[in-house]
Amino acid sequence: MTNSQDAAATTSPSIHAQHGEAQPALVLVNLGTPTAPEPGPVRTFLREFLSDRRVIEMSPLLWKPVLEGIILRVRPREVAGKYRSIWLEEGSPLMHYTREQARLLDERLEGVRVEVAMRYGQPSIGSVLDRLHAKGVRRVAILPAYPQYAASTVTAINDAVAQWIGRNRDGFELRLHRSFPAAPAYIDALATALEKHWERVGRPNFLTGDRVVVSFHSIPVAMDKAGDPYRSECRRTVAALESRLGLAMGTLTATFQSVFGPAQWLGPQTIEEVERLGAEHCPRVDVICPGFMADCLETLEEIDQLNRETFIEAGGGDFHYVPWGNDSEGAVASLEEQARIALAGWV
């Protein structure tokens, strides 16, 4: 090497550094949220969400008239009221806590750029990838904030990534993370949340009828029959949590929530189960939602408000919603464990 070549080599950034490969990016992706708890933003969000063929597996020719002619005319006002009941000063709970998770991950993952994207709404996956690409980043790991895999969640994220690839010639070195239904840090976070709750209010007495309900978002039975692995991954989570807590198999009551429309969904439904327990005068029920890394409408309004009212009005005793995610140490440690797997060899 000549002296001029040697000088250039020591003063110029490497090709890898020029292309951003020295600092990979981690994109933490959650479902999405309206920008405000008002009918207009809710309608915009629902239109995008319910137009995804991964979410509604029906011909658009049949579904679109129902969506536009009925659902988007009726539901936004009702749903906006529900959002208003949980809205924070910082905005949507899901957006606020996902951003906090990303901020805390950024502090823990040295040499990694951590970004937030939403599958529906903003910031969109495509816009985040555009921004990273413009900054020279070429190594990107996509981390869905879904511990259990479903085509309607994780695959929907992968679809959006694939759409970005289809629009661009100069792509990324990409890693698409799958799921973590029984990962050690994740199961420990769930167990720790329950144990800390029990330290405050006492352990449930299963012999006298107390129950611990583990509630997951449901999917249509048709998706399950088509081969979706979601239900089996939920079962793995429950089994691992029972083992970690030292409970016999079957001690925890697994249920599914957030069903809508006339289709048959995975059950038992959470709200039907808590109503049944209330009618049997169950003295206490603790509910935890392992599928939600950040509190949102489905946990704060559906579980902590609607299911609580249903249980008590049916004749039940004490109802406890047990939060575990958000910016808690356990939730961030869970995501960090998965991020390090996704980033292995890059940092």
Q: What is the pLDDT of residue 20?
A: 46
Residue 7 pLDDT > 60: no
Residue 16 pLDDT > 70: no
Q: Order of strands, edge to edge, in the sheet holding 253-257?
A: 253-257, 211-217, 284-288, 318-321
Residue 261 pLDDT > 90: no
Q: What is the pLDDT of residue 15?
A: 46
| Residue 281 annotated in ligand binding | no
Share the mean pLDDT of the chain.
94
Choose the weakest-confidence range: 1-5, 53-57, 161-165: 1-5
What are the structural domains of the chain?
25-180+330-343 (3.40.50.1400), 184-321 (3.40.50.1400)
Q: What is the pLDDT of residue 260?
A: 86
Helix 125-134 and helix 156-167: axis angle, to 10°? 40
Q: What is the pLDDT of residue 262?
A: 84
Choose the weakest-confidence range: 10-14, 46-50, 228-232, 333-337: 10-14
User: Who wins on pLDDT, 277 or 2?
Assistant: 277
Please report where in the chains the tokens 């006002």 appear, as a residue: 77
Residue 22 pLDDT level (bands cut at 50, 70, 90): low
Residue 18 pLDDT > 70: no
Whole-angstrom distance, CA of residue 269 vs CA of residue 276: 11
Which residues share a beta bridge with 284? 318
Q: What percent of the chain has pLDDT over 70?
A: 94
Q: What is the pLDDT of residue 202?
A: 96
Residue 267 pLDDT level (bands cut at 50, 70, 90): very high
Residue 1 pLDDT > 50: no
Task: Find, among 42, 67, 40, 71, the residue nearest to 52 by Cα.
Answer: 67
Residue 246 pLDDT > 90: yes
Residue 286 pLDDT > 70: yes
List, for residues 141-182, the tens digit of each pLDDT value.
999 999 999 999 999 999 999 999 999 999 999 999 999 999
Q: What is the pLDDT of residue 9?
A: 40
CA count, 13 A, side-chain hemisphere, 329: 5
Whole-angstrom distance, CA of residue 209 vs CA of residue 231: 26
List, for residues 79-124, the tens digit of each pLDDT value.
999 999 999 999 999 999 999 999 999 999 999 999 999 999 999 9
Residue 10 pLDDT > 90: no
Task: Find, among 340, 328, 28, 342, the residue nearest to 190 by Cα.
Answer: 328
Q: What is the pLDDT of residue 19?
A: 47
Task: Find, among 142, 323, 291, the residue nearest to 216 by Cα.
Answer: 291
Q: What is the pLDDT of residue 21?
A: 53
Across the range 223-240, mean pLDDT stands at: 98
Q: What percent of the chain has pLDDT over 90?
A: 92
| Residue 298 annotated in ligand binding | yes
